[in-house]
DNA sequence: GATACACTTAGCTATATGGCTTACCAACAA
DNA sequence: TTGTTGGTAAGCCATATAGCTAAGTGTATC
């Protein structure tokens, strides 16, 4: 569980930056080289590479160097971990509002039968 | 869209910390006072209040002071924004794998009819 | 009115983050 | 062999973050 917590730390941190979210959005559509990914950004290459490192460290993407080109691809499982956590909160929230609704309905029913 | 981007920045940043995620998990089950929320953490109160501020700034929670007690509650809409973004990526990813699957199946079908 | 409680404010420290520039290196291409 | 391309490494700077302590403030409670 502790490992899971740390993973969520890094995943949510990685997604807390617009540049890195844009990289994720690009990679879910297909793998791409670092230069392709960097092109839309007015940013020094070493700075952009730092973002790639953050994404890779978080497990959201994987990369591999072939010759002089580093190609990145998404790791959908890790994105799923963040989704799972949020869905768990939603389930708790929905479950709670369901119980509240039931409670209110129970009270309403009791009033009707008096 | 720019506003949306900034919102996602702060939401994902807020969730990038185990203490803050624990607060969110508690609040989806019902509102709670700051002291109740802080109790499980071995942390100075001003430190914990900083986390609460981060969550409030991100819009994930709301708080209100009544007398000397500040009560916090979840804002499910903001959590939904993060969920929406992740679901959009998953849709792109699934759509892409679907297209690949179709392509492979088309090739397989062509082989069979030869 | 004194005391306790629940924060709030201010300031500090150490670390992390996100950008930059410069120089370098490995791998192609001409 | 030289030039170009695609990174990589190192170091710098400014800002942000995450914790702390101490002191203060407003609101109950006794």
Write down the ipTM of this complex: 0.88
- CB within 8 A of B16, min separation 6: which ones? A9, A10, A12, A13, A16
pLDDT band at A111 (very low <50, low <70, confident <90, very high): low
Q: For the structural domain made of A2-112, what CATH number should be given?
A: 1.10.10.10
Q: pLDDT tens-digit profile of B15-62?
A: 999 999 999 999 999 999 999 999 999 999 999 999 999 999 999 999
Nearest to A37 by CA among A25, B50, B79: A25
Strand D reaches within 7 A of the B64 CB: no
Question: What distance in Å separates the CA atoms of residue A57 and residue B47, rounded to the nearest whole number?
Answer: 27
Strand D reaches within 7 A of the B18 CB: no
- Structure-model confidence comparison of residues B113 and B91, the more confident one: B91
Positive or negative CA dihedral for A41, A47, A52, A58?
A: negative
- CB within 8 A of B105, min separation 6: which ones? none
How far does the CA of residue B69 sit from the closest CA of chain A (Å)? Answer: 23
């Amino acid at each position: 569980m502790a490992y899971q917590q740390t993973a969520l730390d890094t995943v949510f941190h990685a997604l807390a930056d617009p540049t890195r979210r844009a990289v994720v959005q690009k990679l879910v559509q297909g793998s791409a080289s670092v230069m392709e990914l960097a092109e839309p950004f007015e940013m020094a290459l070493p700075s952009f590479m730092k973002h790639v490192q953050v994404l890779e460290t978080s497990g959201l993407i994987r990369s591999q160097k072939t010759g002089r080109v580093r190609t990145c691809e998404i790791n959908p499982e890790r994105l799923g971990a963040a989704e799972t956590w949020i869905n768990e909160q939603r389930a708790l929230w929905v479950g709670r509002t369901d119980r509240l609704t039931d409670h209110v309905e129970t009270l309403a029913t009791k009033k009707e039968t008096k």
